[in-house]
Amino acid sequence: MNALLKKEMRLSAMLLTYLFIGFGLMALLPGYPILCGVFFITLGIYQSFQNAREANDILYSTLLPVAKRDVVKGKYQFVILIELCGFTVMAMMTILRMTILADSPVYRQNVLMNANPFFLGMVLLIFGLFNVIFLGGFFKTAYSIGKPFLIYIFAAFLTIGLAETLHHIPGLSALNAFGFDHIVLQISLFLCGILIYAALTWLSYRKACTDFDKIDL
């Protein structure tokens, strides 16, 4: 673990950000749009950015004997760490629902999205959107967080609404598979989610480095 990541975790991050990882447990909720758990995890990250901005964290970081690109890298590493922690919690709850709870009536009778690999792929997609819209937007100014977060909220809930709608369309019911039904399709969609998350995050990071380098602090 590098020094800048440690600095983000110990100095810049709020306790709330770590506590909000627990919203990954929402994957167990029946009769609820479980993808909302992703939004709450990113809301926790937003709180840390807000706290860091008020403490002039960016200015402090640039005064350290590190390159400006490393400042961006430290922020991205912290965000990715929190996202992967939240994803791990959701993945564990998904495995629980796919195995022990696969035939539970409370889930079988649920008309909303089921916890399965497709759900996990959508989790990664929304995290990727957060990295592009919010993180990328933040590093355009290294100060403004309200506008990029509002845009992210719109994109996130539009994606959640789309994900909740897809399996109701004739021919797409396999997206809401229970247990290990349609597992090849489900795994394929999950892998697509991984690739999209990685691509969005990498592209966002590269652009953020370029944008931040142009800012005169």
Distance separating alpha carbons of residues 10 and 5, to the nearest angstrom = 9
Q: Residue 132: its pLDDT value, please?
A: 97
- Structure tokens of 87? 């994803």
Closest CA to 152 of 126, 123, 124: 126
Q: Residue 217: its pLDDT value, please?
A: 66
DSSP category for residue 110: -
Q: How much is the pTM?
A: 0.95
Domain boundary assignment for the chain: 3-214
pLDDT tens-digit readout, 106-158: 999 999 999 999 999 999 999 999 999 999 999 999 899 999 999 999 999 99
Q: Residue 1: its pLDDT value, please?
A: 60
Cβ neighbors of 168 (< 8 A, separation 6 or more) are none
Q: Residue 123: its pLDDT value, please?
A: 98
**Three-state SS at 181:** coil
Q: Give me the phi and psi of 182, to 5 degrees please.
A: 50, 40
